[in-house]
Structure 1
Amino acid sequence: MNADLKFDFHTHHDRCGHARGTIRDYIEASIDKGLDIIGISDHSPYFASEEDQPYPHIAMGKSAFSGYVAEILKLKEEYKEKIEVLLGVESDFFPQHAEIYRSYYEKYPFDYIIGSVHQVDEVSIFHKTRWEGLSQQEKQRTKETYYQLIEESARSRMFQILGHIDAMKGFYPSFSSIETAVIDQTLKVISAHDIAIEVNTSGKTKDCGGWYPADDILERALRYGVRITFGSDAHDPERIGDDFELVKKRLKEIGFTDWVFFRQKKMQVVSL
């Protein structure tokens, strides 16, 4: 498929409570930046919660979800001559609630679902003080739990893309240097399933700088045959497609020859 195809599959908007701009704003920004495809993938509601919207600054309410899907499908049709709009969602992965989430997603014609682990031991991976006072052994166990959850998310077959698979380093850059063999095990499991990991450029906005995942993980992903895609994780229309060309160049340098996206949950391969 056309190597010049330009896309971004990880984008948010104001429904989640911590992003700026409407879905239309992101589509318009994508057209302005010359994208061929834009995926809308706002944070999933907390479907297992009894409350409609327990965390208004993190995710939309359950009652807003059908409207979210309907708006994307309407805009997909409206903009079809200018840009391809794909229906996505970034889903939290809680193993104990996976079937509840699955039952919601099966009602709608998603092009793809991004599975992201945002909590380990019931604490946000981005919680800045979660590492304080932990021994090296406890830090290693935390990292291993994180990757075991990512591995479970791959095995669940709920997702086409796994989100930011080393984002736990976001506000704790030392996370990357915690020694463990678990990442290789996780990458092998991902490779065995028909899913991709994303190069997510939002890491540059956190303390760690750079992208998710780090180059050494991408090198191992290539070795294990893991598929790759791109997402800016934009929470502002100005970040749409952020570093797309740089990511493309770096992936080629590492040795990748193609990357992928999903349309109606079917993998589409694009030459780099």
Structure 2
Amino acid sequence: MTILSNAHTHTTYCDGKNSAEEMVEAAIARGFQCLGFSCHGYTPFDESYCLTPGATGRYIREIRALQEKYRGTIDIVLGTEWDYYGQIDREDYDYIIGSVHYIQSPLTGKFYTVDSTPEELDECLEVGFHGNVMAMLTTYYNAVADMAVNGRPDILGHFDLIRKLNSDGRFFDEESPAYLHIAVTALEKAVKSGVVIEVNTGGVYRGYRSTPYPADTLLRTIRRLGGRVIVSSDAHDTESLGFQFDETEERLRRIGFTEVQVMTKDGLRAQKL
């Protein structure tokens, strides 16, 4: 493994399974040089998975303390994963991952999680969009593009997360021209914004998909457009840190990438593949 950092890391402060220090120790054991923490920022209408206002301060203080405790052993960087509909004070963090986890129905105003259960996504489609799958996909990808362009995060998280529950094509055909037009239009805007696009192995680790986000078709588009990528494992437990990094490096080489971005204590920098 040549990528020795992970920028997308969760803990028990949000929906992770391990404490921040347990994640640090696991990263050290795997030979990582840098670990970026990115607990989910506060989302007002859904506190089930994210930092609450009270926990946010504790999270920031602990990560800053761990930076000092492990200085000289591993570089630790404080970030957050900011949802499109969430609230953060970006000045509190060294970097921001911008992600879209929800679709808001234009008919009812209700928010639906795109990566929770097939039943919820089915309700989103049938109730929130009256069965119009292309309208649902357009709403999702418009939010992703807007996050990249106007949210200005350092990293754009799991670009096509809406594919998570669609491995059997239950909701839409991922190779259809109509779907790809919507996704690629958003991707073109994201690349033009200059944001680094995450190649995320978390869906593979958790058994939902066989390949990372974004799909290979979209990765080839990023390559063609000259976009920048970063590999992450979207780690929610110690075992997932660095999951399939070697395989993902090889996948990116085959597609034509010659470098990736990696997290360092001084920010993102390019590393040759």
After TM superposition, give the deviation of residue 209 of structure 1 in Å: 3.3
Q: 1:151 aligns with which of 123, 131, 145?
A: 145
* One-letter code aligned to 2:271: V
Q: 1:60 aligns with which of 51, 64, 68?
A: 51
Q: In 2, are the aligned partners of 1:112 and 1:264 still within 8 Å (CA)?
A: no
Is the aligned partner of 1:12 residue 2:10? yes
Counterpart of 1:190 in structure 2 is 190
Q: In 1, are the aligned partners of 2:164 and 2:209 still within 8 Å (CA)?
A: yes
CA RMSD, aligned part only? 2.3
Counterpart of 1:252 in structure 2 is 253
After TM superposition, give the deviation of residue 267 of structure 1 in Å: 3.8
After TM superposition, give the deviation of residue 266 of structure 1 in Å: 4.8
Q: Give distance in 1, aligned partners of 2:150 and 2:54.
A: 25
* One-letter code aligned to 1:115: G
Q: In 2, are the aligned partners of 1:171 and 1:206 still within 8 Å (CA)?
A: no
Q: Give distance in 1, aligned partners of 2:244 and 2:26.
A: 15
Q: In 2, are the aligned partners of 1:75 and 1:85 still within 8 Å (CA)?
A: yes
Counterpart of 2:32 in structure 1 is 35
Give TM-score, length-normalised by structure 2: 0.86
After TM superposition, give the deviation of residue 40 of structure 1 in Å: 0.7
- Name the % identity: 29
Counterpart of 2:225 in structure 1 is 224
Counterpart of 1:116 in structure 2 is 99
Q: Give distance in 1, aligned partners of 2:131 and 2:175.
A: 13
Q: Which segment is superposed worse, 148-157 or 125-134?
A: 125-134
After TM superposition, give the deviation of residue 237 of structure 1 in Å: 0.7
Show the 5 A alignment for 1:64-79. 64-79=55-70
Q: Secondary structure at the match of 1:192?
A: helix
Q: Give distance in 1, aligned partners of 2:7 and 2:263.
A: 9
Q: In 2, are the aligned partners of 1:258 and 1:271 still within 8 Å (CA)?
A: yes
Per-residue deviation, residues 33-59 of structure 1 (Å, max 9, x unmatched)? 11111111111122x46xxxx52x311
After TM superposition, give the deviation of residue 136 of structure 1 in Å: 10
Per-residue deviation, residues 52-102 of structure 1 (Å, max 9, x unmatched)? xx52x31121111122111111111211211111111111112xx6xx53x
Counterpart of 2:135 in structure 1 is 141
Q: Secondary structure at the match of 1:21?
A: coil
Counterpart of 2:108 in structure 1 is none
Q: How many residues align?
A: 255
Measured at CA, do residues 148 and 206 of structure 1 come closer, stay the same or move farther in structure 2, by a change above 3 Å? farther
Show the 5 A alignment for 1:155-170. 155-170=149-164
Q: In 1, are the aligned partners of 2:164 and 2:203 still within 8 Å (CA)?
A: yes
Show the 5 A alignment for 1:193-208. 193-204=193-204, 205-208=206-209
Measured at CA, do residues 7 and 210 of structure 1 come closer, stay the same or move farther in structure 2, by a change above 3 Å? same
Q: In 1, are the aligned partners of 2:6 and 2:241 still within 8 Å (CA)?
A: yes
* One-letter code aligned to 2:22: D
Q: Secondary structure at the match of 2:98?
A: strand
Show the 5 A alignment for 1:85-96. 85-94=76-85
The answer for unaligned runs of 5 or more in structure 2 is 105-110
Counterpart of 2:107 in structure 1 is none
Q: In 1, are the aligned partners of 2:202 and 2:234 still within 8 Å (CA)?
A: yes
Per-residue deviation, residues 200-225 of structure 1 (Å, max 9, x unmatched)? 11111143332111111111111111
Q: In 2, are the aligned partners of 1:114 and 1:163 still within 8 Å (CA)?
A: yes
Counterpart of 1:26 in structure 2 is 23
After TM superposition, give the deviation of residue 147 of structure 1 in Å: 0.7
Measured at CA, do residues 208 and 131 of structure 1 come closer, stay the same or move farther in structure 2, by a change above 3 Å? farther
Q: Give distance in 2, aligned partners of 1:261 and 1:193.
A: 19
Measured at CA, do residues 234 and 262 of structure 1 come closer, stay the same or move farther in structure 2, by a change above 3 Å? closer
Give TM-score, length-normalised by structure 1: 0.86
Q: In 2, are the aligned partners of 1:160 and 1:265 still within 8 Å (CA)?
A: no
Q: Secondary structure at the match of 1:15?
A: coil
After TM superposition, give the deviation of residue 177 of structure 1 in Å: 3.9
